[in-house]
Amino acid sequence: MQDSILVTGVSSGIGLTTAKYLLDRGFHVYGSVRGDAGAGELAEKPGFTALQFDVRDRDAIRAGIQRILADGNRLVGLVNNAGVAITGPVETVSEVEYRRQFEVNVFGLVAVCQEALPLLHATKEAGFEPRIVNIGSVSGYLTSPFTTIYSASKFAVEALTDGLRRELLPFGIDVISVAPGPVKTPIWKKGREQKEAFQNNRYSEMLDKLDPYTEAAEADGVEPEVVAAAIYEALTAKDPQPAVLVMKKGWMAKLLKLTPKRFQDRFFVKRLAENRRY
């Protein structure tokens, strides 16, 4: 029987890097992918098993969990990483997109937790220390304009993390948020491709500012390995912090959160004008 960790969304970015990081450290990794090509280079790695599911598909999640059960591996960790970042003004973002934001980042996370928890309880009952790590974001601490819906979903992830941790405290399952600032992953390019909400409306001219702003944020981001290391720490440290912010100048984001909202408003407007994210 091997210690295993389920990581959702391992086709690219933080999920892919985390899967490799955990494999290198001896864990069996179950990684969720969508589509046949999803596992890519991971498919060849010993100790990796791809589970095919979209976090919006409860039956498919359940089938993935059944596979872990059938293999007989001990599930010691769940990393809720799968996510999308919808860009656009709240006034114009389509209903399909704002619902997708919450379906994936929030309700998908709840569904995966619900399906995986029986295995995590069994792990605890067998004398081990199972953990859930939710991938939040600095956008779950502070809200930048035009990623407001994304930010709302990540604020929800923080609330779910705190509430779930308190609910699971008596059962000995720890729940931790690892919240990155900007990280160099494909999520930024996917965001820049979402232009519909800015087209033919009063926000159109914002696009000229927004693209350089997100490009600058991505260029200044950390490598995904830095986040993978923080996730590993959250999964394995003796006494982990319940909320970890992983970003350059994280102190600045924490300080900004303490300032008056009107000050924050001016800060974000100025930063947007200067193509500088916090």
Ligand X SMILES: NC(=O)c1ccc[n+]([C@@H]2O[C@H](COP(=O)([O-])OP(=O)(O)OC[C@H]3O[C@@H](n4cnc5c(N)ncnc54)[C@H](OP(=O)(O)O)[C@@H]3O)[C@@H](O)[C@H]2O)c1
Distance of alpha carbon 15 from the chain centroid: 8
Inter-residue contact 216 to 276 (CB < 8 Å): yes
Q: Closest distance between ligand X and the C-beta of residue 190, in Å?
A: 6
Using Cβ positions, the residue closest to ligand X within the complex turns out to be 13
Report residue 239: phi and psi, to 5°: -135, 75
Nearer CB in complex with ligand X: 129/220: 220
Q: Closest distance between ligand X and the C-beta of residue 200, in Å?
A: 27
Inter-residue contact 113 to 78 (CB < 8 Å): yes
Helices 58-71 + 108-125 axis angle, to 10 = 20
> Which residue is associated with the tokens 């919240």?
179
Integer angstrom CA distances of residue 61 from 57, 94, 154, 256, 257: 6, 27, 21, 38, 36
- Catalytically annotated residues: 150
Q: Closest distance between ligand X and the C-beta of residue 271, in Å?
A: 16
- Residue numbers at the binding site for ligand X (CB under 6 A): 8-15, 32, 34, 38, 54-56, 81-85, 104, 108, 135, 137, 180, 182-183, 185-187, 190, 221
Q: Closest distance between ligand X and the C-beta of residue 126, in Å?
A: 29
Nearer CB in complex with ligand X: 12/275: 12
Nearer CB in complex with ligand X: 118/186: 186
Query: End-to-end CA distance of the chain, in Å?
Result: 45
Return the bridge partners of 7, or none: 31, 79
Nearer CB in complex with ligand X: 39/272: 39
